[in-house]
Amino acid sequence: MRSGLVRRWLDLSHKDQHAGAKSGRGLNQLLGLAVRPLYRAYEGRLSREIRRYPVPQHIGIILDGNRRYAERRGVTDPREIYSFGAGRLDDVLDWCGELAVPAVTLWVFSTDNRDRPLEQVSGILAAVEAKVISLANHPDIHRRRVRVRTIGKLDLLPNSLRNAIRAAAEATAAYCGMVLTIAVAYGGRDEIVDAVRSLIGEQSDRGLTLAEAISEITGDGIARHLYTAGSPDPDLIIRTSGEVRLSGFLLWQSAYSEFYFCDVPWPAFRKIDFLRAVRSYQHRKRRFGR
């Protein structure tokens, strides 16, 4: 009973802290200081509980809620809006490292996002580029031996971002401590279409007849041509900011994933939110269609 009350208090306190009103910020800061010991105690309790059970081997995260988070703070500059969320990545890598999660995939920009106003698109891509550049030189990336890879329709990205992606991949290519995959200019339907096209192209190069080619269009054949070919399917997919849908994220790979949706926007995503998601995953019985 007490833990339930504490949990509700922490959630309410968190909502108050991120209400975004310019007035009352001093009160919110005092409230944050008051609940900090409770946060630490609750985090410790969750961590101890989680370590008793297997953790996901691959976690996918849909980073949603940057604009709503910024609006509550009166921030309108697109570059500043998306820089809020970029800083959260370091924390997520720390949390995954503590639990020895070997693979993380973050969806930062979809092909559909390209239809947003130009200033928003520029703000997102600028934040992504700055983060990718920092990853290539971040000491924790090299200490943890994190391999950085990127998936999506990369030819749609600005040259400067493609160069940053290439540099991060080359700087971490030999690492195998954790695989961090960044999905940018990514769409699940696009990925499946591109995989089928690639498979058919391969069959054409082999000189197969139409009948022979059709017989080789199998689930395994398509999977070999996905952007994520060779990577394990995600065990757990987390979406922030309260939206309850995948919006095209890893459509093929998520057939048997467990989903966790939380209300907090991505820039406000806390360690206890992450640990709750992992605990929820651990308490589910996975059947894989059987």
Annotated active-site residue 112? The verdict is no
Q: In what order do the strands lie in the sheet containing 178-186?
A: 146-151, 178-186, 103-110, 58-62, 236-239, 258-261
Annotated active-site residue 137? The verdict is no
| Calpha distance 261→277 (Å, rounded) | 8
Catalytic-labelled residue, pool 64, 190, 235, 273: 64
Q: What is the bridge-based pairing of β-strands 146-151 and 178-186?
A: parallel
Q: Which tokens sit at 274? A: 């992450």
| Calpha distance 255→245 (Å, rounded) | 14
- Element holding 258 (H helix, E strand): strand 258-261
Beta carbons within 10 angstroms of residue 27's beta carbon: 12
Catalytic-labelled residue, pool 11, 16, 90, 113: 113
**Residues noted as catalytic:** 64, 113
